[in-house]
Structure 1
Amino acid sequence: MEFKANSKELEKLLAKIIPAVPTRTPMQILENILLEVENGVLTVYATDLEISLKSFLNIASDENIKIVIPARLFYDIIKSLKDTTVHFKINGNKRLEITTEKGKYTLSYIDADEFPEIPTINTSNDVYEISINGQDLKSAFDKTAFAMSKEEIRPAMMGTLFEFCDEGLRFVTTDGHRLVNYLNKNIKADINKQYVVPERAVSVLSKVLDEKELKVYFTNSYVSFKLNDMELITRLIAQKYPEYKSVIPLENEYALRVKTNELLDSIKRMMLFTTSTTRRVKFSIDSEQIIISAEDIDIGAAGEEEVKCEYRGEKMEIGFNSTYINDILSHLSDYDEIIFKLHSPTKAVIIEPVEQKENTDLMMLLMPVRLNT
C-alpha cells in the first residue's frame, strides 16, 4: 500500500498533534501516533490519556490503512526535509518506507488496535454546542490561565471554569491566593451550567487558537474543541468548582486608582529586594501616592519607590506577595489604569480596569499578606 504527501503540509499537521505526545511515560505506546488513511484523507491521532489531538490532511491514496509509528522520530524526519513530495510505502514485514528524491528512511510500525481508543463526541441531546471566535477564547485564556492552581489537593482548581450564565460565558480560575473572573458577553447561552476544563487542554489550545471560529461540544464527561483541520478532546474535571462568588468581598469601600504600568514597573524593581521566603512588598497608601517598599534583612538590602495615585479612603499599609501582584499587573498591562478596591489590610482586594474592553468584564482578586509589626 502506498500514499504520498507534501512534506511542509505534513509538518504543519504533525506540529498540531505533537503536544499530546508525552515526553516521559510508563506507557510506551503513548510515545507513538496513529496514522489512518481513509478515502484519500490522512488523519493523525495522538493522546496522553488526558487530552487527545487529531488532525487531517487530504492526500493521494487509493487504499485505506491504520498503523502506529514512533511520534517524535517521525516528526523530526518530516521537519528536517525541504519542501518536497514524500512517498510512503507499507511493507509486509511491518516496515514503513519513507522516500524522497534524495533519501530513503525506514520505520517499524505496530498494529492500530494496540493504540488507546480516542474518545469521540457524537452530536446528540446530551451535547451542548457553542461557536466562539478563536481570538475571544485565546483572550480569555490569556487573562485567566495564570491563576489556575498547581496543587493536586483540590483538583477542580487545577482547571478553568466555563460558566454559562444569563450575562454570557464566564471564565474563572483561582489558586486560593488570587482569583480571576472574566466574562465574555458575546456568547449568549440558553443554559446555566458549569464545566471545568483541565489546565493541560487550556495550555495546548492557547498555542493554536487564531481569529477563526471554532465549535465547542460539551458533554457531562468530555469537551471537544474543533478548529480548522484539528480537534482537541479532553476529559472534564469531574469535581465541582468551588463557590468562588462567596469569596468576592462586597464591603470594599476604599478606591485606589493608579496607572497600571507605572505600578508594574515599580513592583518589578521591588522584587529585587524581597526575601525568598515571604516575597513581600508593602503598600503605604495615601490620598495622592503609594510608597512601595521591600526589604531583605538577610542580605541587608532594601528598596522604596513612590507611585502617584488617586485614593479615596483611610490611610492604609497593606502587604502583598510580590510574585502574585506582579502576575496580576502583568495580565492587566494592556489596560491604562486600574482600580484597587480595599477594605482593610487583612481582607481580599478587588482589582479591575478603569475602562473595560468591549463586551467583556474582567475582575481579579488578591489576598494580602500580613506585615511584620
Structure 2
Amino acid sequence: MEFKVNSKELEKLLSKVIPAVPTRTPMSILENFLFEIKDGLLNIYATDLEISLKSSISVVADENESFVVQAKLLYEIVRSLKETTIHFTLTPSKKVNLVTDFGKYSLSYLDATEFPNLQTFEDDKEMNEVTINGNDLKNAFDKSSFAMSKEEMRPAMMGTLFEFSDNGLRFVTTDGHRLVNLLYKNVKSVFNNSYVVPERAVSVLSRILDEKDVRIRMNKAYMSFKLNDIELITRLISQKYPDYASVIPLENELTLKVNTKELLDSIKRMMLFSTSTTKRVKFSIKEKEIEISAEDLDLGASGEEKVSCEFSSDSLEIGFNCAYVQDVLSHLTSEEEIIFKLHSATKAVIIEPVQKKENIDIIMLLMPVRLNS
C-alpha cells in the first residue's frame, strides 16, 4: 500500500493532532497516531482517552488502509524535513517506509484494530448542536479558565460549565475563592442543558481556536468541537456542577469604581510585601481613594499605596488574597474601569466592567479574607 503527501502540509496536520498524545501513559498504544486513508483522504487521530483530536488532508493513495504509527518519532522526522514530497509505503513485515528525494526512513507500525475506539456522533439521537464564533469561544476561555479548580476532591469544579438556556450560552468557572460568570446572549439554542468540559480540553482548544465558526455537538457523555479541518472530542465531567447562582450575593449595595490598570499595577507591587503564606492585602476604602497595604512580618517589610476611586459610602476595610485579585484584574485589562460591588468585609465581592457590551454579560466574584484585628 502506498500514498504520498507534501511534508509541510503533513507537518501542519500532525502539529494540530499531537497535543492529544499523552506524555506519560501506562497504555503504550496511546503514544501513537492512527492513520486512516479512505477515498483519497488521510484522517489522522490521536487520543489520551480524555480528549481525541482528528484532522484530515487530501493525499494521493492507491487504496484504502488504516495503521498505527509512533506519534512523536514520526512528528520529529517530518518536522525536520525541508519541503518535499514524502512517499509512504507499508510492507508485509509491519514497516512503514518514508522516502523523499534525499532520504529513506523506516518505522514499525501496528494494526489499526489495536487503537482505542473513538467516539462518534453519527446517528446519535440524543445529540444537541450549536454554532459559535471561534474568537468568542476563545475569549470565554481566556476570561474564565484561570478560575477552574485544581482540587481533585471537587472534580466538577475542575472544568468549565457550559449552560445553554433561553438567555444564551453561559460559561462558569470557580475554585471556591474566585468565580467567573460570562454570558453570550447572542448564542441561541433550541435546548436547555448544562455540560462540564474538563480543563484539558479547554487548554487544547484555547491554542487552536481562530476567527472561524465552531460547530459544537454534545450528548450526555461527550462534546465535539469542529473547526475547519480539525475536530476535538472530549469526555464530559459527569459530576453535577455546584449551584453557582446561589453564591452570587444580591445585597451588595456599596459600589467602588476604579481604574483597572492603576489598581492592577498597585496590586502587583503590594504582592512583593505580602506574606508568602497568606498573600493578604488590605483595602482601606474611602470616598475618593483606596489605601492598599501589605506587610510581611517575617521579613520586616511593608508597602502602602493610594489609588483614586469613587466609593458610594464613607469607608470600609476589607482583605483579599492579592494573587486572586491580580488574577481577576489581569483578565479584565480590556476594561478601562471596573466596579466592585460590596456589602461588608466578610461577604463575597462582585467585580464587573463599568462599560457594558451589547451581547456579553460578565461578572467575577472574589471571596475576601479576614484581616488581623
Instruction: Note whether the superposition's TM-score is higher than 0.5.
Output: yes
Q: What is the rounded CA distance, in whole Å, between the counterparts of 1:62 and 1:280 in structure 2?
A: 67
Q: What is the rounded CA distance, in whole Å, between the counterparts of 1:358 and 1:104 in structure 2?
A: 58
SS of alignment partner, residue 273 of structure 1: coil
Q: What is the rounded CA distance, in whole Å, between the counterparts of 1:112 and 1:21 in structure 2?
A: 16
Q: Match for residue 98 of structure 1?
A: 98
- Alignment deviations for residues 117-168 of structure 1 (CA, whole Å, 9 cap, x no partner): 1111125431111011111111111111110001011111111111112211
- Alignment deviations for residues 191-212 of structure 1 (CA, whole Å, 9 cap, x no partner): 2211111111111001000010
Asked whether 1:318 is paired with 2:318, we answer yes
Q: What is the rounded CA distance, in whole Å, between the counterparts of 1:123 and 1:344 in structure 2?
A: 54
Q: 2:308 corresponds to which letter in structure 1?
A: K
Count of aligned residue pairs for this structure pair: 373
Q: Match for residue 111 of structure 1?
A: 111
Q: What is the rounded CA distance, in whole Å, between the counterparts of 1:12 and 1:315 in structure 2?
A: 58
Q: Match for residue 357 of structure 1?
A: 357
Q: What is the rounded CA distance, in whole Å, between the counterparts of 1:310 and 1:99 in structure 2?
A: 70
Q: Match for residue 83 of structure 1?
A: 83
* 1:35-184 superposed matches below 5 A: 35-184=35-184
Identity within the alignment, %:
66
> Contact conserved, 1:254 with 1:314, CA < 8 A, in 2?
no
* 1:112-261 superposed matches below 5 A: 112-261=112-261
Asked whether 1:309 is paired with 2:312, we answer no
* 1:265-276 superposed matches below 5 A: 265-276=265-276
SS of alignment partner, residue 33 of structure 1: strand
Give the TM-score normalised by the residue count of structure 2. Answer: 0.99
Q: What is the rounded CA distance, in whole Å, between the counterparts of 1:194 and 1:119 in structure 2?
A: 20
Q: Match for residue 289 of structure 2?
A: 289
> Contact conserved, 1:339 with 1:351, CA < 8 A, in 2?
yes
Q: What is the rounded CA distance, in whole Å, between the counterparts of 1:34 and 1:192 in structure 2?
A: 36
Q: What is the rounded CA distance, in whole Å, between the counterparts of 1:288 and 1:261 in structure 2?
A: 17
> Contact conserved, 1:39 with 1:62, CA < 8 A, in 2?
no
Q: What is the rounded CA distance, in whole Å, between the counterparts of 1:172 and 1:12 in structure 2?
A: 33
Q: What is the rounded CA distance, in whole Å, between the counterparts of 2:64 and 2:123 in structure 1?
A: 26
- Alignment deviations for residues 259-285 of structure 1 (CA, whole Å, 9 cap, x no partner): 001100100111111111001111000
Asked whether 1:280 is paired with 2:280, we answer yes
**Residues 1:123 and 1:361: Cα distance change in structure 2 (over 3 Å):** farther
Q: Match for residue 29 of structure 1?
A: 29
Q: What is the rounded CA distance, in whole Å, between the counterparts of 2:129 and 2:48 in structure 1?
A: 25
SS of alignment partner, residue 117 of structure 1: coil
Deviation for aligned residue 1:185: 1.0
Q: What is the rounded CA distance, in whole Å, between the counterparts of 1:69 and 1:124 in structure 2?
A: 30
Q: Match for residue 344 of structure 2?
A: 344
**Residues 1:123 and 1:313: Cα distance change in structure 2 (over 3 Å):** farther
Please identify, of 121-130 and 77-86, the stretch whose mean Cα deviation from structure 2 is larger. 121-130
SS of alignment partner, residue 105 of structure 2: strand
> Contact conserved, 1:181 with 1:362, CA < 8 A, in 2?
yes
Q: What is the rounded CA distance, in whole Å, between the counterparts of 2:87 and 2:358 in structure 1?
A: 50
- Alignment deviations for residues 285-335 of structure 1 (CA, whole Å, 9 cap, x no partner): 000000111111101111111100000024111111111100000000000
Q: What is the rounded CA distance, in whole Å, between the counterparts of 1:278 and 1:264 in structure 2?
A: 19
SS of alignment partner, residue 264 of structure 1: helix
> Contact conserved, 1:258 with 1:339, CA < 8 A, in 2?
yes
SS of alignment partner, residue 271 of structure 2: helix
Q: What is the rounded CA distance, in whole Å, between the counterparts of 1:129 and 1:189 in structure 2?
A: 8
Deviation for aligned residue 1:356: 2.1
Deviation for aligned residue 1:190: 2.2
Q: Match for residue 334 of structure 1?
A: 334
Q: What is the rounded CA distance, in whole Å, between the counterparts of 2:161 and 2:372 in structure 1?
A: 36
Instruction: State the Cα RMSD in Å.
Output: 0.9
Deviation for aligned residue 1:96: 0.7
SS of alignment partner, residue 189 of structure 1: coil
- Alignment deviations for residues 206-244 of structure 1 (CA, whole Å, 9 cap, x no partner): 100001011100101111111101111111111111000
Q: 2:3 corresponds to which letter in structure 1?
A: F
Gap regions ≥5 residues in structure 2: none
> Which runs of 4 or more aligned residues in structure 1 lie more than 6 Å from their structure 2 counterparts after TM superposition?
none
Q: 2:8 corresponds to which letter in structure 1?
A: K
Q: What is the rounded CA distance, in whole Å, between the counterparts of 1:62 and 1:32 in structure 2?
A: 23
> Contact conserved, 1:163 with 1:194, CA < 8 A, in 2?
yes
Give the TM-score normalised by the residue count of structure 1. Answer: 0.99
